[in-house]
Structure 1
Amino acid sequence: MLNISIIVLFSFILVYSNIIILNEETLILICFITFCMIAFNKLKSTVSKDFEKSSNMVEAAVSKSLLELINSSESVFIYKNIFKKITLNLESLKTHFITFGIISSKALPKYIIKRAETTYPKRLIFSERLENQTSKLLALLLNYKLTQITNIQNFYTHDCKIATFLCINKITLREYIKIL
């Protein structure tokens, strides 16, 4: 920095030689320049500390944002690779699913025929057994009812001796004889 005494001496020489005219504006300019120099000399440590503090804060914020940007770009790159793998896996799954569908559609009629061949004979055998058993049951029930009817008819004709039953018996006997 220039020495103040040299500046003052140089100013007097310029004013004395009428190079610089001292009027109100020039005096205000000189006062402003001296104020700035004095303020700079007296406040430079405080202002520099404030500027350093602000620059450190800005530097920390920039470094933090750079780290976040690096981390986010790394995570984007990782997710991009994961999504590429997922799409490849989905494409291979699609091909496997298509081949499975083709193979199963070709094998489905054979499977249905084989299943029908195993289940229908069993069902038919079951229905045949059921039919035989129901016919036996119906025959037994019919036999039982007929024996009850004949027992009741014998009771009414021989034991009770009701005239209407005796007459019906004779009519049916005559009908049987005519048929023969």
Structure 2
Amino acid sequence: MVSTWNIANALTVARLAIVPVFIVFLFVDGQGWRIAALAVFLVASLTDQLDGWLARRYGLVTDFGKIADPIADKALIGSALVCLSLLGEIAWWVTAVIIARELGVTLLRFAVIRHGVIPASYGGKVKTVLQILAIALYIWPGVPDLARWSAMALAVLVTVATGLDYVFRAIRLRQVARRSRAA
């Protein structure tokens, strides 16, 4: 049995704990604080990749990690989007679409769990990278608006597309489960 207290889970907890620091840095006035917020955001984003890799590579996957990792991810991305919307830098509809998709997919996964698990898709990983890139461009001072808008538009497009993919995968999972019960 793998201990809950391992390096992968420690990184997940650290990512969750650093979210308030990121939020404070983002709201403090001044370019230096903005760059500090960007650094914290990028370090936290990198820990998401690192903790997953460590867990799979060294057999450190735990039930705690399966639950805490997506919570930490959503806390980081969600807080960044909400804060940037509060600052008037990202439209609220963008924040609403991304957060609604994340909550919807989470609820969908729970709704079909008795039929099986919907694993993370390659598209979901691309979505995460695009969201991180777009958010980073909004945090980074002086990035041209066209670069920010383009990155966020692509992130929103992939976010919606992968959300629809999860819906179709959930429907297929339920259909397969029904057929196997009927057989």
Same fold (TM over 0.5): no
Q: Which has the higher helix share?
A: 1
TM-score between both structures, scaled by the size of structure 1: 0.23
Choose 1 or 2 for highest CA Rg.
Answer: 1
TM-score between both structures, scaled by the size of structure 2: 0.23
Quick one: higher RCO (CA 8 Å, sep 6+), 1 or 2?
A: 2
